[in-house]
Amino acid sequence: MQDGARPHPTEKVFRFFDEYFGNKVIALDYPKFTGTGMDWPPYSPDLTPCDYFLWDALNDTVYGNHPSTLDELESAICVARNSISVEILKDVMSNFNLRLRHLVFSNGEHFENIVF
């Protein structure tokens, strides 16, 4: 979704979500498929740690050596993932809580002008 494209949900993914998370899922078109969960709100601020942290953190490490095969790419992803410390993940989750507080305070309105 970083390039503005819609996510590409599949039946297999939705079945997995439904089996493990049930009505706790917030995802685009999820309720239409399963009858449970909540639709992802349109134009919502980036709240997911993967959106505001993980992809940027992994991108430089994964593509820094320009993997040319799927095996090299998979290996680079594993190395990058393992390089993220527990302390960094704790900071990310603390920031996530702060973002949620700002969302509640703003009554669900956008708050992109705030630097976290």
Say whether pLDDT at 108 is over 70.
Answer: no
Is 93 in the same domain as 65?
yes
Is 54 in the same domain as 90?
yes
Choose among 75, 50, 51: nearest CA to 62: 75
Tell me if 63 sits within 8 A of 79, measured CB to CB. no
Say whether pLDDT at 15 is over 50.
Answer: yes
pTM, 2 dp = 0.50
Domain that holds residue 11: 1-41
Is 34 in the same domain as 48?
no
Average pLDDT, the chain: 78
| Mean pLDDT to the nearest integer, 59-70 | 89
pLDDT score, position 1:
46
Q: Could you tell me the pLDDT band of residue 3, with boundaries at 50, 70 and 90?
A: low
pLDDT score, position 115:
58
Q: Give DSSP secondary structure letters for 55-84.
A: HHHHHHHHHTT---SHHHHHHHHHHHHHTS
Is 36 in the same domain as 68?
no
